[in-house]
Structure 1
């Protein structure tokens, strides 16, 4: 079968034998390089908020379209329908004209919304045809992050014609993911080639995109796979190199789907993730002399063994001859063993080793000695924040922690724009709320992160802080905060998980999960002194990479040992759900596993919301699944209450790092009052009262 342009419908290509309801692959590809209303555009808006032109996104989408038409293959899955939306630069358009690519639609907001509605509306709905079909969504262009929501910007973003900028005229990848996870089509694949750094004009208003995906009714037929691959993680950038024909993510993606010229093979989604992750960072290293990194981020609901394409066999091509200033083409082979080492080295080079301070000091002692603060933190805007605006509270009781929090080490660059701090939380139950506040120190007046604690031992935490002016002419303030479990010199459980999690982030999550030693996790589970947070992180890594069956009944054991840890309830629910889906009638000895599954999720009403970002997103998916199933009286109300609490958290939180960071502004509309959210209100948003 071959796609042909559909007359009088710009951008629509169909198989000549296509009929409504026909099974097959339905694709929507969009690439936006030219933004008329951003900086450098033909009709720039009065304030473009620092957003400018791109140079390779339209050509990246066009090249993926060329591959899709010519070389995509999958037995029993013909390509039958595709929409192509492009906003090229003049140079890209000249190239399209030269190769005869003229049948595409513009990529403005109205056209993109209509294309999404046509795409979702034309999918086969008959169960048999839906089970034989797949959707493919690809977007390359500007993207931003507004709290928890990743948004994609059409070509006419910030059009000044209406007067005030229509900040909501964009597309939400969260809506896309929600739609994919509910559509009865068997397989969904989304590839997002866009930045995810915070966009303050939207985030400060609590705004998101206008709805453009259909709201589906919960049904009994759910997708076999809903997979997405984003070019980068929340809060970070995706890169393009001037003069190169494709974005870094796009080039890595094309390398993977085209194959390496070897034998016939099937490219599975998890293999695609590894190949793209490796290639992106190899290309970026070549372009930036090792100073930058880009963390490709996958998400899978269902079977992660989705076959993306069947690769064609062919002769091995000769290596390209490098040209001055050009990026080398990186082959589609497996990751090199030293990939993690290289990524870690590139990450470490952001800091000046001469400025590192490694002697530990209690936080309460440091804040009383400005000289000690300044020796560690450097410039005044950073030092004053730590003297006046950093506070720790018990998450369970809201009382200030007056002792026990230890500052272990600090690394930073010369201007103190990037600061990395290693902390050790005291042994306690109930968690710690770490707060950075002050209108003169913090861009959104208050940033807070809830961190898990172990009852009988300290928990290491690594903080990453970014300082700078929020807008031109403003003094530097804390713009961004990340928190994750840190390394530990004296606790082997945390040190072991630190190594695995860094490999998962910068190398391969699947390989890191496969390398987990069950005996090491068992030791952490049985270690009375401490290790509960480390064990939770290891279990989440296994759950997120399709290895949840290996957890067996450990989540239940963790739940019993740490009843105040809500993440354990989520993991227990996930284990039960997996067992039920695989036909186990009494998994782990549970006489009523469906009831236990629902009860574990409902318990978040009293336990509070999970600490880990991965737990929150897993809980959200499990809640949708639970609400589709049979429920006893009152259970639906309980589950919807937890669902609403997570939705409210997403309005004020950012999934940047291992633990969500909550912002004081904007205040959600449903919370009365003025000004930034107070510490008490932040605790309430987290489900602690």
Structure 2
């Protein structure tokens, strides 16, 4: 049953309304955007050879995917007396998509101007719905090209992106602006879905990429304390969001999995059931998407990982309600868990190793199974002590790889170092492109670290590294091993599940055992923070972790970001915290966001603006520890090392 019909209104491009919904009553408001046809990107109608497009070209099923989401919202969406009220549908389809779907009739082209008008009208409609705003909700869906800035700062590209003469790189929708603009919305619950690439484009780093400030952002004091906005991103950091090259092969993988999940298909955990009506909630939906998209990628034969990223502060209530007519057996079936699918990528395992480059090329080739990989680990992997700058010996303990040598998981060990190590990996297949990471030490034991590496081939057959992530190895003993498993749970399922296991398993004790393992305590605190379990994370504990371990900028950032933060420490007691970067990837991004949001009266216990902004220009989000990527000459240890040691 189609509940939304097109209505032509000035200033409301692509508006659809529900004739049965009455203004002043609760409702659901949505903006749905799908862009396949990009005239000013490669092979577009307005593109000219030689135009810089940052490697971006045409898409094939994004408009069809957005149409399918619109049809779900119009026909199937249901939640506790909030029917679809209004929806703005903006589509820029291919000719094939246009011919295949009549649902696009009434939509408007997804140009930047129309996107701005629709998003502003969406916000205004929610804001002007009287007392019913408190019981209403907002939805946003985008399918098309995207570029990553950081975890919660992606830009989504309208159909006329890079239109001349200016070809402005910031003429795009900013997810950061959406999250900040919605923070003051009178509507308390919002769900955002970004079915877009998170490409890492080296040539864009010369620009400050932020997107357009489409929604007004009010001061923190004007924010609605009841607003919770969750966003799901489709792609792993630095990778593409997969979709078929022809419409007959279906929708984008993320869009297909999302719509299946919102319909309550097998494999989705349903909660809050009452008389056969159950809620599809945000965190279980994220887990389902990770499982389903990973399985779809495997079916396509792709070596890519599906890391469906969560951003914002998601509501812990249903995204939609479905009628559960499944049998108990059907309720338990569905896509294989993402951990099993990813583990299946590693066909060959070598454990119990103590390999170093001194062992020679023959042993390297036997272990790594590839001359290219052997060359990297023999000649292009280097570690140095972050305090002294002295070279450090890298010992490889385990190697797990795919049979086609396109996916690797390498476990390594480094000697003790109070400030940790700077590990560099140079890719000879990319002419000097470097991946680098600062790896912290711990008080009681030398951690085992894990690097995951993915390889691709370009059109000329040159093999190159497409992704590197760094985390604690699962083979660590005691607290660090347990935390590695919890972090894996966070990456493969969701933050709430990881925090729940952290609490119920008794691992919360590590939060209080700071002296025994400050690294474990800091990782545990990050998991609890991402799950918004502030009840298990007292601000006083973060203040102690900050002041007891002066190297721990990560704890200082978590402390300053805590909702109960109050500046209580003399800045003279924190000399080192003004001089170095966080180790953890998500905390680095948190620092960047906090610094970007600083007002004249804000005073966090660290001052790292220049260093953080420089690091974010080369940062590759993903994994536990912050990985940086760029030309080798730009990635020395001075990027992260305290200034007193430079």
**TM-score of the pair, normalised by structure 1:** 0.77
- Structure 2 Cα separation of the partners of residues 622 and 601 of structure 1: 21
Aligned to 1:213: 214
Aligned to 2:35: 32
- For residue 53 of structure 1, report the CA deviation from its aligned partner: 4.1
Deviations 1:41-79 (A, max 9, x none): 556553666645444322221222223233433346454
CA gap of 1:563–1:685, structure 2 versus 1, over 3 A, is closer
- For residue 400 of structure 1, report the CA deviation from its aligned partner: 2.3
Partners of 1:447 and 1:661 within 8 A in 2:
yes
CA gap of 1:111–1:425, structure 2 versus 1, over 3 A, is same
- Structure 2 Cα separation of the partners of residues 645 and 351 of structure 1: 37
SS of residue paired to 1:93: helix
Q: Is 1:136 aligned to residue 93 of structure 2?
A: no
- Structure 1 Cα separation of the partners of residues 25 and 596 of structure 2: 29
With 173-182 and 42-51 compared, the bigger mean Cα shift is at: 42-51
Deviations 1:554-577 (A, max 9, x none): 5455445533222223344455x2
* Equivalent runs, 1:161-180 vs 2, <5 Å: 162=165, 167-180=169-182
- Structure 2 Cα separation of the partners of residues 527 and 596 of structure 1: 20
Tell me the matched-pair count.
Answer: 626
Aligned to 1:153: 157
Aligned to 2:271: none
Partners of 2:119 and 2:215 within 8 A in 1:
no
- For residue 257 of structure 1, report the CA deviation from its aligned partner: 2.6
- Structure 2 Cα separation of the partners of residues 683 and 662 of structure 1: 10
Give the alignment partner of residue 400 of structure 2, picking from 411, 414, 426: 411
Partners of 1:31 and 1:85 within 8 A in 2:
yes
Aligned to 2:353: 359
With 9-18 and 22-31 compared, the bigger mean Cα shift is at: 9-18
CA gap of 1:288–1:687, structure 2 versus 1, over 3 A, is farther
- For residue 483 of structure 1, report the CA deviation from its aligned partner: 0.9
Aligned to 1:11: 14
Deviations 1:195-241 (A, max 9, x none): 223234424x3452542423523142424202101123312333334
* Equivalent runs, 1:5-84 vs 2, <5 Å: 5-7=6-8, 9=10, 10-14=13-17, 24-38=27-41, 45-46=48-49, 51-75=56-80, 77-84=82-89
- For residue 259 of structure 1, report the CA deviation from its aligned partner: 3.3
Partners of 1:146 and 1:207 within 8 A in 2:
no
Deviations 1:446-489 (A, max 9, x none): 332112211331111111234456x6448544443211111225
* Equivalent runs, 1:534-573 vs 2, <5 Å: 534-552=520-538, 554-556=541-543, 558-559=545-546, 562-573=549-560
- Structure 2 Cα separation of the partners of residues 685 and 334 of structure 1: 51
Q: Is 1:308 aligned to residue 302 of structure 2?
A: no
Give the alignment partner of residue 399 of structure 1, picking from 370, 389, 407: 389
SS of residue paired to 1:350: coil
- Structure 2 Cα separation of the partners of residues 676 and 249 of structure 1: 37
- For residue 165 of structure 1, report the CA deviation from its aligned partner: 5.7
- Structure 2 Cα separation of the partners of residues 688 and 171 of structure 1: 41
* Equivalent runs, 1:186-335 vs 2, <5 Å: 186-203=188-205, 205-208=206-209, 210-223=211-224, 224-241=227-244, 242=246, 243-259=248-264, 263-285=276-298, 287-288=299-300, 293-301=305-313, 304-311=315-322, 313=323, 333=331
Give the alignment partner of residue 431 of structure 1, picking from 420, 430, 437: 420
Aligned to 2:636: 679
Q: Is 1:347 aligned to residue 342 of structure 2?
A: yes
SS of residue paired to 2:628: strand
Partners of 2:441 and 2:447 within 8 A in 1:
yes
Partners of 2:588 and 2:626 within 8 A in 1:
no
- Structure 2 Cα separation of the partners of residues 521 and 425 of structure 1: 27
- For residue 105 of structure 1, report the CA deviation from its aligned partner: 0.6
SS of residue paired to 1:505: helix
- Structure 2 Cα separation of the partners of residues 532 and 685 of structure 1: 19
Partners of 1:460 and 1:488 within 8 A in 2:
yes
Aligned to 2:270: none
CA gap of 1:687–1:500, structure 2 versus 1, over 3 A, is farther
SS of residue paired to 1:177: helix
Give the alignment partner of residue 505 of structure 1, picking from 491, 504, 508: 491
Structure 1 unpaired stretches of 5+? 320-330, 581-592, 629-633, 666-674
- Structure 2 Cα separation of the partners of residues 263 and 479 of structure 1: 46
CA gap of 1:602–1:501, structure 2 versus 1, over 3 A, is same
Deviations 1:300-321 (A, max 9, x none): 32x631432333x3755999xx
- Structure 2 Cα separation of the partners of residues 597 and 623 of structure 1: 19
SS of residue paired to 1:346: helix
CA gap of 1:54–1:498, structure 2 versus 1, over 3 A, is same
Aligned to 1:464: 452
- For residue 408 of structure 1, report the CA deviation from its aligned partner: 1.3
- Structure 2 Cα separation of the partners of residues 574 and 638 of structure 1: 9
Partners of 2:14 and 2:89 within 8 A in 1:
yes
Aligned to 2:272: none
Partners of 2:33 and 2:110 within 8 A in 1:
yes
- For residue 30 of structure 1, report the CA deviation from its aligned partner: 0.5
Q: Is 1:107 aligned to residue 97 of structure 2?
A: no
- Structure 2 Cα separation of the partners of residues 358 and 476 of structure 1: 28
CA gap of 1:69–1:455, structure 2 versus 1, over 3 A, is same
**TM-score of the pair, normalised by structure 2:** 0.82
Deviations 1:342-363 (A, max 9, x none): x334323434417x47521356
- Structure 2 Cα separation of the partners of residues 127 and 402 of structure 1: 64
With 16-25 and 508-517 compared, the bigger mean Cα shift is at: 16-25
Partners of 1:391 and 1:435 within 8 A in 2:
yes
Structure 2 unpaired stretches of 5+? 267-274
- Structure 1 Cα separation of the partners of residues 97 and 328 of structure 2: 27
SS of residue paired to 2:640: helix
Partners of 2:294 and 2:341 within 8 A in 1:
no
- For residue 663 of structure 1, report the CA deviation from its aligned partner: 3.1
